[in-house]
């Protein structure tokens, strides 16, 4: 007989760590919004700090799943959805809060998130093929950079905030290109997104 919250009752221990990853990502988004409301650097830095916290949860959920031999399709999908929030939407939100609010900035940030979503979807549908013939059925490498590498971008933004170089003082200034504005710093997000969807770049999986 089905009971309320029966899905949650079926979660493995690792799945709760995955949800911790998602919660950290959402906290980062909300703190970025709070920074836009009150311009408090402490809120910006706290938002950035939730990125490495999410990364820790992301690492732990994999280690726990392997240690307890509790791999599941649900866990893999949960992990991808959590990563989209913590390492896709949250860094883009922080960049927007930092001052990358021009029209071209918005295009680049949307591109970055779409690349992250595409990269995770590709991994989910190709993981079994990539694991075929490998010892233990494990994937040996990533195609393109993993989306958690965007933690480096939040580190750059946190350093910029600490130096007082966000908003009007953002590194690289602002360029007027046609009808919209571009902040050159946002090109780091374009680079990160492009590396994620690369088919030729192979990163060994730890």
User: Domains (ranges, CATH) in the chain?
Assistant: 6-204 (1.20.120.1760)
Q: Considering the chain, what is the average pLDDT of its residues?
A: 90
Q: What's the pLDDT score for residue 6?
A: 63
Look at residue 11 in the predicted model and tell me its pLDDT: 82
d(CA 164, CA 158): 10
Rounded-to-integer distance, Cα 115 and Cα 108, Å: 10
As a whole number, mean pLDDT of residues 32-40 equals 97
pLDDT band at 133 (very low <50, low <70, confident <90, very high): low
| Selected residue with higher pLDDT from 25 and 137 | 25
Q: What is the DSSP letter of 89?
A: I
pLDDT value of residue 72: 79
Cα 80 to its chain centre, rounded Å, is 10
Considering the entire predicted model, what is its pTM? 0.90
Cα-to-chain-centroid distance, residue 202: 19
8-state DSSP, 28? H
Contact status, residue 75 vs residue 18, Cβ threshold 8 Å? yes
């Amino acid at each position: 007989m089905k009971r309320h919250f029966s899905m949650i009752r079926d979660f493995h221990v690792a799945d709760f760590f995955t949800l911790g990853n998602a919660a950290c990502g959402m906290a980062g988004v909300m703190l970025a919004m709070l920074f836009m409301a009150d311009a408090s650097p402490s809120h910006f830095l706290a938002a950035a700090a939730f990125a490495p916290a999410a990364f820790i949860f992301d690492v732990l959920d994999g280690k726990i799943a392997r240690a307890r031999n509790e791999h599941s399709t649900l866990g893999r999908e949960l992990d991808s959805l959590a990563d989209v929030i913590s390492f896709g939407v949250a860094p883009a939100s922080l960049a927007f809060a930092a001052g990358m609010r021009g029209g071209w900035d918005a295009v680049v940030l949307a591109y970055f998130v779409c690349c992250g979503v595409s990269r995770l979807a590709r991994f989910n549908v190709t993981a079994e093929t990539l694991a075929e013939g490998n010892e233990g059925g494990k994937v040996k490498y990533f195609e393109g950079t993993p989306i958690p590498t965007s933690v480096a971008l939040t580190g750059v933004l946190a350093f910029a905030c600490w130096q007082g170089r966000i908003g009007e003082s953002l590194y690289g200034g602002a360029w007027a290109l046609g009808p919209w504005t571009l902040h050159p710093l946002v090109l780091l997000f374009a680079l990160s997104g492009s590396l994620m969807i690369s088919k030729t770049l192979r990163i060994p999986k730890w």
